[in-house]
Structure 1
Amino acid sequence: MTQEQAENDVCEKTEGWTHEDVGKRIVKRETPNGTYFNELIVNVFCQMCAAEFIGPSREAGGFLGGHECLHAWEFSQVMGRNDGLTE
């Protein structure tokens, strides 16, 4: 990989990622929870409701997991359960 290719694969943004940023890496990202290095910017979506997320891979996991929990709760409401679980 050339220096120019490596530079093109880096995203300097700390927020506001777009489709053009997907596949690039954030060299260093500091959060209240820790510091992330070489984190990939990804594009994911919820298969249930088609909500979409573009951003760091760590947050993408939270987005997907959060939607999974939300939709499980919605299903439990339809099934008439009140404990938040589905069968």
Structure 2
Amino acid sequence: MEIKIFRYYKIFYQGSVISVIAPGYQGYFQILKNHAPFISILKNGILKLELKKDKKKEIKIEGGILRVNKNMVIIIT
């Protein structure tokens, strides 16, 4: 699954991930490979990316929008 995170009109992070845990408006949720098409509003919190087995990355965000479609996650913060 691929991810692109846009911040301040540029690509902040881009790469391949196993899973994404995001701070949704109603609470945290997880996106895995082959997830159904989905759009969500994000609130302030920590975006947790699992890049490879035993390798993780955390990114602090202050709200935004997340979209999933055909194994591509796009986040605009």
More RCO (CA 8 Å, sep 6+): 2
Higher strand share: 2
TM-score by length of 1: 0.26
TM-score by length of 2: 0.27
